Chain A
Amino acid sequence: MTASYEKYDREHRGTVGRVEVASPRMKCRNVNVYYGEKKAINDVTIDIARNEVIAMIGPSGCGKSTFLRCLNRMNDTIDTCRMEGEIFLDELNIYDKGIDVVQLRAQVGMVFQKPNPFPKSIYDNVAYGPKIHGLAGTRVELDEIVEESLKKAGLWDEVKDSLDQPGTSLSGGQQQRLCIARTIAVSPEVILMDEPCSALDPIATAKIEDLIDELREHYTIAIVTHSMQQAARVSQRTAYFHLGDLIEVGDTKHIFTNPSHRLTEDYITGRFG
């Protein structure tokens, strides 16, 4: 390969590509994250558009999960974690003093790496969010929310006769879809997914991926994944992280066919990762 045409070389650390979008759902500006003395995220600026799926890829320890957890302030629970910079959700700085994380997390939901249903019934798993936020006035409304959420998560037909069974009795893929149903039951605007398929088999993964595609209609989704194929399949835009730096952002098609940065190219061609 001739290394002559317009490509940023490996030492370049500024973000390459299309960082900003028109009328973004979330706007991150100069985000730095520290764990104690160690800097985990270095000056990341990125927009997340409405109704898009943005994939965050990169080698292990590159800070993509840390960055994702900044978007709904899940890092607040880690004592040593410190964040600088600004993140806006619809023009509202979520790190402002007056912001209530409880309300924020109702707007920015999260699905985790390992399926983590509550040790309660399937119904209670989905109903928990609406219940604590007071979204349903009556039992009938709650039933509706549960049914609709499970339908959106593509789980309704499999569990409609066993809603009182424990959520932990489902298979791994079903559990993860239950967790997605639980997240969308509080009707968030953004759903963060932290490697949602890493513990699942290919068939369950395919189901979740189809689901992500459908959910895009109503929600904005940010997904961290280790699988480049998955990123290519489900996302419209892709962000490549490397050792705490956001190296490249752009249309998924562009990133996977013609990356502008040497490091991105190295990663997607499998030279490291």
Chain B
Amino acid sequence: MNNGSEKTIDIVKKGLGRRYRVEKRFRLYGVLAITISLLFLALLFASIIARGHSAFRQTFVKLSVELAEAEFDLNDLGRADYQGLIKKTLREEFPQVKSRSDKKDLYSLVSSGAAFRLHNLVTDNPSLIGETVEIWVPADDDVDMYYKGYISREVPEEDRRLKDNQLAWLDRWQAEGKIVKRFNTIFFTGGDSREPELAGILSAFTGSMLTLVITLALSFPIGVAAAVYLEEFAPRNRWIDTVEVNINNLAAVPSIIFGLLGLAVFINFFGVPRSSPLVGGLVLTLMTLPIIIIASRASLQSVPPSIREAALGIGASRMQTVSHHVLPLALPGMLTGTIIGMGRALGETAPLLMIGMVAFIVDIPQGFTDPATALPVQIYLWADSPERAFVEKTSAAILVLLAFLIVMNLLAVILRNRFERRW
């Protein structure tokens, strides 16, 4: 009650201004929070792209190699001295280079991968023997860095990765149009390498892919089945409660523990091949399962009970109720959980270190039992490498990982929207 002169409406009016101010301030905080998080995200992307974009281009040098017949044994083309041919070509380009150290400087301008390129060219087209072929070979990583602007001529010679004489040779090549920057296909088609200019992401990418296939193939069905049993069929008793609590706890276990478990159980006890996508997938399955089970259960709980009653009421069995009505309605939510789980699995490094997927893998894995590594592990390995050129490779690999993640999520969102139904 008030003193009569003041009506309720006046009191309400007095408070209105303050109430609106509070609301306005609260909205402002929200907008501020979103802006800040977007800003950080933009910063992150900008820095990664700024560092990584140059890795998608690579410097190539054009060499005219004379494939003299004398050099080749026609029955065994693979045994010719391709490295020698490249060196010979380089010497002929610059006849004035005589001293041993100068020669070494000259040879180091092109990548050691040049010989492989020549080898592949000749074995694919043996008819070229006897002719002089023009071949673009990748330049050494230092040359590549120079053309990408990471090595400055201003720096005194002794502190520079390229010496004055090397720069002079490069200048001549450039004047002759023998140096070109092109799209870096090696990065997308090669495996890891000690030479940055030959290092590629494909082996890690394939490793991640194979690992995720195993993870998805195991964790989705097992997770959904576990969730359906717990939610729809399990009796409510202490035993089931314990199971539930433990599943929830598993979701919070540090992932390296799963790695240790995988090492002890899968590799040492069951003898699954070390470093293989198979064991990686198994370990990541253990890690993803609780996430998928928890999300799937939440999604099953959100299916209105009236749907279950409707189905049971016309005589559907429990199994039919679940598979015909509940599961289709819960599937979008389950897929969301699976995306989150798979996203985590894709970005996981620690458990993979424990099971040997940190190995230096040059070959692209051909199956689930081949030695492999994964994208995040590759990023970790490259980030650890001393060569300047690996800095951009690291960022580029992060970009590939992000792209992989985005494509995966996009696919799942599309899939989810197709299943999504209202009730």
Contact = CB atoms under 8 A, between A and B. Distances in A.
A112 interface: yes
A110 B309 CA distance: 9
A253 interface: no
B312 A132 contact: no
A19 to B, nearest CB: 27
A85 interface: no
A116 B312 CA distance: 12
A186 B315 contact: yes
Contact of B314 (A103, A114, A128, A168): A128
Nearest to B309: A112
A251 to B, nearest CB: 29
Given A112-B306, A119-B421, A128 B313 contact: no
Contact of A109 (B235, B314, B325, B423): B314
A74 B315 contact: no
A257 interface: no
B313 A105 contact: yes
Contact of A110 (B235, B304, B313, B421): B313
A197 B312 CA distance: 21
B99 to A, nearest CB: 83
B314 A116 contact: no
A77 B320 contact: no
A256 interface: no
A179 B235 contact: no
| Most A CB within 10 A of own CB, among B308, B314, B422 | B314
A15 interface: no
Interface residues of B, number: 22
A179 B312 contact: no
A132 B323 CA distance: 12
A102 B325 contact: no
Interface in A98-151: 102-106, 109-112, 114, 116-119, 128-129, 132-133
B189 interface: no
Given A79-B235, A118-B325, A179-B310, A133 B315 contact: yes
Given A79-B235, A116-B307, A118-B325, A183 B422 contact: no
B329 A109 contact: no
Contact of A119 (B314, B317, B320, B423): B423
Given A118-B325, A119-B423, A168-B422, A129 B312 contact: no
A182 interface: yes
Contacts of A102: 315-317
Given A79-B236, A128-B324, A105 B314 contact: yes
A132 B315 contact: yes
Given A110-B313, A118-B311, A168 B423 contact: yes
Contacts of B310: 112, 116-118, 179, 182
Nearest to B306: A116
B313 A109 contact: yes
Nearest to A107: B315
A105 B423 contact: no
A225 interface: no
B38 to A, nearest CB: 36
B422 A72 contact: no
B44 to A, nearest CB: 41
Nearest to A116: B306
Interface in B306-341: 306-317, 320, 324-325, 329
A77 B315 contact: no
Nearest to B310: A116
Contacts of A133: 315
A146 to B, nearest CB: 14
Given A118-B325, A119-B329, A103 B309 contact: no
A116 B309 contact: yes
Contacts of B235: 79
A185 B320 CA distance: 18
Nearest to A80: B236
Contacts of B307: 116, 118-119
A253 B410 CA distance: 65
Contacts of B421: 119
A132 B313 contact: no
Given A79-B236, A116-B306, A105 B422 contact: no
Nearest to B304: A116
A110 B325 CA distance: 17
A103 to B, nearest CB: 7
A183 B313 CA distance: 8
Interface in A13-67: none
Given A116-B307, A117-B310, A179-B310, A132 B320 contact: yes
Contact of A106 (B308, B315, B422): B315
A102 B313 CA distance: 9
Given A79-B235, A119-B329, A74 B314 contact: no
B306 A114 contact: yes
A128 B324 CA distance: 10
Interface string B3-42: 0000000000000000000000000000000000000000
A183 to B, nearest CB: 6
Interface of A: 72, 74, 77, 79, 102-106, 109-112, 114, 116-119, 128-129, 132-133, 168, 179, 182-183, 185-186
24 contacts: A74-B309, A77-B312, A102-B315, A102-B316, A105-B314, A105-B315, A106-B314, A106-B315, A109-B313, A110-B309, A112-B306, A112-B313, A117-B310, A118-B307, A119-B422, A128-B311, A128-B316, A128-B324, A132-B316, A132-B317, A132-B324, A133-B315, A182-B310, A185-B314
Given A79-B236, A118-B307, A129-B315, 12 more contacts: A77-B312, A109-B315, A111-B313, A116-B306, A116-B309, A118-B325, A119-B423, A128-B311, A128-B324, A168-B423, A179-B310, A186-B314
4 smallest CB-CB distances across A and B, nearest first, come from A116-B306, A110-B313, A106-B315, A105-B315
